[in-house]
């Protein structure tokens, strides 16, 4: 074991065990999982009249399957990597076991070409979540690998319909082919925006529901870059949950700001027959229609008042008065830091850092956590943005409560991804009740991949 860290040793033996059981029982163990989730290449039409080549996706072709499970239920998902590069699957927002979290070297070895890995996922919380790779993340997500994950409440909350919207852009030219997925000068600023906005891989899709019915619309922004302001026009609706955590008092939907990684669950009352509601994204160039909900003949006449607030998730309330404060400064990277080679890819630059430490790449071996938290104790994370850009700050495996900002009023909700505006300082609080090494990074993937990443340890 000379020169091998404990982590490498443990991962090594686990990997060997997994490899031998996979060879021994490829047929059997693959078949017995609740779900097969192949990762591969495919061609798909997004821009009408063109076929985009070289997409990367989950499943058999087309948008990723929406995975559904019940609160507390365990589901086994066999990931089969058919890409000619390494991947790994992360379940964004799940407060589950660390070894199922899908982060290279922190929780498992990357899944290489031809390998399989069986995830056992489970969620103590109900709500709207999503999944995506955490290795070669920019390329794989930009080419299509983002999917939704729904955890159902044990009691039916009473909607007539439920629809999940995977909201994201693609960087496609008019011929439907990918153009440069990012530009270094943007990675050092706000990130490279997409060109074609889609919902479930369609440009402005239309969905039909009966007039007067109540629809649960689950929005998830799985884009690599875009922070956007969304509105729902033409229907009465209210926001039921943000980032999978229910609001105590649902509020009428006016405008919702969603950053990469964030979700919103809306209760929407369908308008009169023949009328439509529209989901609109406000951009600098004006409103961009994203999806249309058209009313068909009425079958029921419901009222938004019939929908009670969703049951709270079992998140421990932090003891804010006795919490230790941990500071995290998001800033430029000190000069001279070259990224390190990694099977999980590098954009070739380091621009960003947390507490002056840039993440240089996903590599084996011990890396220091940005902070160590004691299991069961409460902490305030003071998030300090020393940059002129916005950063959606995401923590794996734990939910934190937004306490206050020095710039604006923020709702005191639990989340896993908080949008930190340029120059803003935000306090968030949590109970460190899930042991493990939890990735902590900006969800603008160009920022994540050029240094704005690290991890927190709970032990
Ligand atoms: Cu949604 Cu570390 O990611
Ligand atoms: Cu995550
Ligand atoms: Cu960022």
Identify which ligand lies nearest to the alpha carbon of 439: 1
3-state secondary structure of 18: helix
User: Nearest CA to 442 among 371, 392, 382?
Assistant: 392
The overall pTM is greater than 0.95: no
Question: Which atom of ligand 1 is least distant from the CA of 103?
Answer: 2
In a domain, 312, yes or no: no
- Domain end position, chosen among 152, 175, 210: 152
Would the CB of 263 count as within 6 Å of ligand 1?
no
Tell me, in angstroms, the distance from the centre of ligand 1 to residue 89's CA: 10
CA distances from 331 to 37, 217, 354 (A): 37, 36, 6
Mean pLDDT of the chain: 93
Sign of CA dihedral 99, 105, 106, 110: negative
Listed residue (269, 233, 260) closest to 452, CA to CA = 260
Asked if residue 186 and residue 137 are part of one domain, the reply reads no
Domain with 49 in it: 6-152
pLDDT tens readout for residues 171-193 = 999 999 999 999 999 999 999 99
Our answer on whether the CB atom of 457 is closer than 6 Å to any ligand 1 atom is no
User: Token pair of 158, please?
Assistant: 């009473």
Q: How confident is the model at residue 5 (pLDDT cuts 50, 70, 90)?
A: very low
Nearest in space to 260 (alpha carbons), one of 409, 401, 123, 417: 417
Phi and psi of 208, rounded to 5°?
-115, 135
- Same domain for 296 and 173, yes or no, is yes
Predicted local distance difference test score (pLDDT) of residue 30: 52
How many angstroms does the Cα of residue 208 sit away from the middle of ligand 2?
Answer: 32
Query: Does residue 311 fall inside a structural domain?
Result: no
Q: Which atom of ligand 1 is found nearest the CA of 92?
A: 1
Q: Cβ distance 428 to 418 under 8 Å?
A: yes
Concatenate the DSSP letters of all residues of 123-150 into one string.
-SS-EEEEEEESSSHHHHHHTT--EEEE
Name residue 442's beta-bridge partners: 393
Residue 170 belongs to some domain of the structure: yes
Q: Tokens in use for 403?
A: 């306490």
Ligand with smallest separation from the Cα of 393: 3
Last residue of a domain, one of 255, 279, 306: 306
Q: Is 302 in the pocket of ligand 1 (CB under 6 A)?
A: no
Distance 92 CA to ligand 1 centre (A): 5
Residues 269 and 131 in one domain: no
Domain count, the chain: 3
In a domain, 1, yes or no: no
Which ligand is closest to the CA of 261, given by its number? 1
Identify the residue whose tokens are 């390190």.
Answer: 340
For residues 122 and 148, state if they share a domain: yes
Q: Three-class SS of residue 384?
A: strand
Instruction: Quote the tokens at residue 286.
Output: 């004006």
Are 33 and 94 in the same domain? Answer: yes
- 131 CA to middle of ligand 1, Å? 8
Cα(313)–Cα(151) distance, rounded to whole angstroms? 11
CA of 362 to the centre of ligand 2 (A): 16
Domain match, 282 and 328 both? no
Query: pLDDT-derived band of residue 328, with 50, 70 and 90 as boundaries?
Result: very high
- Give CA separation, 25 vs 79, 109, 209, 416, in Å: 15, 20, 45, 37
| pLDDT confidence band for 134 (50 / 70 / 90) | very high
Q: Does the residue 313 lie in any domain?
A: no
Cβ of residue 441 lying under 6 Å from some atom of ligand 1 = yes
139 CA to centre of ligand 1 in angstroms:
14
* 4: pLDDT strictly greater than 60: no
Cα of 68 from ligand 3 centre, angstroms: 30
Could you tell me the CATH number of the domain that includes residue 204? 2.60.40.420
Judged by DSSP in three states, 154 sits in: coil
CB atoms within 10 A of CB 104: 26
Higher pLDDT, 21 or 193: 193
Decide if 429 is inside a domain: yes
Question: In this structure, which ligand is nearest to the CA of 448?
Answer: 3
The protein residue with its alpha carbon nearest to ligand 1, atom 3, reads: 92
Are 172 and 125 in the same domain?
A: no
| Closest-lying ligand 1 atom to the alpha carbon of residue 132 | 1
Q: What percent of the chain has pLDDT over 70?
A: 93
Residue 57: CB partners within 8 Å, gap ≥ 6? 39, 40, 41, 42, 44, 63, 64, 143, 144, 145
Q: Exposed e or buried b for every residue in 401-416, given b needs 16+ CB within 10 A?
A: bbbebeeeebeebbbb
| Number of Cα atoms under 13 Å in the Cβ half of residue 53 | 1
Q: For CA atoms 140, 63, 226, 437, give the dihedral sign.
A: negative
Quick one: pLDDT band at residue 23, thresholds 50, 70, 90?
very low
**Residue 335 resides in a domain:** yes
What lies within 8 Å, CB to CB, of 88 at 6+ separation is 102, 103, 104, 108, 110, 111, 117, 133, 134, 135, 344
Q: Can you tell me the mean pLDDT for 417-443?
A: 98
CB 245 less than 6 A from any atom of ligand 1: no
Q: Are residues 335 and 400 in the same domain?
A: yes
Give a yes or no: residue 315 inside a domain. no
d(CA 34, CA 366): 34
Is there a single domain that holds both residue 236 and residue 105? no
- Please name which ligand lies nearest the alpha carbon of 422: 3
Specify whether 131 is located in the same domain as 177: no
Read off the DSSP letter of residue 230: E
Confidence of residue 366 (pLDDT cuts 50, 70, 90): confident
Residue 132 vs residues 52, 103, 224, 417: alpha-carbon distances, Å: 20, 11, 11, 15
- 147 in the same domain as 74: yes
Could you report how far apart the first and last alpha carbons of the chain are, in Å? Answer: 25
Q: Is 75 in the pocket of ligand 1 (CB under 6 A)?
A: no
How remote is the CA of residue 397 from the centroid of ligand 2, in Å? 7
Last residue of a domain, one of 97, 119, 152: 152
C-alpha span between 28 and 30 (Å, rounded): 5
Task: Name the residue with the closest Cα to ligand 1, atom 1.
Answer: 92
Cβ atoms of residues 188 and 349 within 8 Å: yes
Q: Evaluate if residue 398 carries a pLDDT over 80.
A: yes
If one counts every other C-beta atom within 10 angstroms of the C-beta of residue 319, the result is 12
Ligand 1 centre to CA of 260 (Å) is: 10
The verdict on 174 and 275 lying in the same domain is: yes
């Amino acid at each position: 074991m000379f020169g091998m860290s404990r982590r490498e040793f443990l991962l090594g033996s686990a990997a060997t065990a997994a490899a031998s059981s996979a060879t021994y029982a490829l047929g059997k163990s693959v078949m017995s999982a609740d779900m097969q989730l192949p990762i591969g290449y495919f061609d798909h039409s997004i821009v009408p009249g063109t076929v985009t080549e070289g997409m990367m996706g989950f499943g058999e072709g087309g948008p990723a399957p929406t995975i559904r499970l019940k609160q507390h239920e365990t589901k086994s998902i066999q990931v089969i990597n058919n890409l000619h590069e390494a991947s790994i699957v992360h379940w964004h927002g799940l407060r589950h076991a660390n070894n199922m979290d899908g982060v290279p070297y922190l929780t498992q070895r990357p899944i290489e070409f031809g390998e399989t890995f069986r995830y056992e996922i489970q969620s103590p919380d109900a709500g709207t979540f999503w999944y995506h790779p955490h290795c070669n993340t920019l390329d794989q997500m930009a080419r299509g690998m983002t999917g939704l994950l729904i955890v159902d409440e044990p009691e039916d909350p009473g909607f007539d319909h439920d629809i999940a919207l995977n909201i994201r852009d693609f960087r496609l030219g008019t011929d439907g082919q990918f153009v440069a997925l990012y530009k270094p000068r943007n990675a050092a600023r706000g990130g490279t925006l997409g060109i074609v906005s889609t919902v479930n891989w369609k440009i402005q899709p239309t969905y039909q529901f009966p007039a007067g019915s109540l629809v649960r619309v689950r929005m998830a922004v799985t884009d690599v870059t875009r922070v956007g302001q969304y509105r729902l026009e033409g229907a009465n609706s209210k926001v039921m949950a943000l980032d999978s955590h229910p609001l105590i008092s649902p509020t009428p939907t006016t405008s919702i700001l969603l950053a990469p990684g964030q979700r919103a669950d809306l209760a929407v009352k369908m308008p009169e027959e023949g009328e439509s509601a529209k989901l609109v994204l406000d951009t600098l160039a004006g409103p961009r229609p994203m999806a249309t909900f058209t009313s068909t003949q009425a079958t029921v006449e419901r009222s938004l008042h019939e929908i009670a607030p969703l049951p709270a998730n079992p998140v421990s309330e932090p003891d804010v008065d006795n919490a230790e404060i941990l500071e995290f400064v998001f800033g430029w990277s000190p000069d001279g830091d070259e990224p390190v080679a990694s099977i999980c890819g590098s954009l070739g630059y380091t621009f960003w850092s947390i507490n002056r430490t840039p993440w240089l790449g996903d590599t084996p071996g011990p890396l220091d956590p940005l902070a160590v938290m004691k299991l069961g104790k409460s902490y305030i994370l003071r998030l300090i943005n020393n940059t002129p850009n916005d950063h959606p700050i995401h923590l794996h495996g734990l939910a934190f409560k937004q306490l206050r900002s020095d710039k604006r009023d923020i709702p005191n909700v639990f989340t896993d991804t908080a949008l930190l505006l340029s120059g803003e300082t935000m306090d968030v609080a949590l109970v460190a009740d899930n042991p493990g090494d939890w990735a902590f990074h900006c969800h603008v993937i160009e920022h994540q991949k050029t240094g704005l990443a690290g991890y927190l340890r709970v032990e």
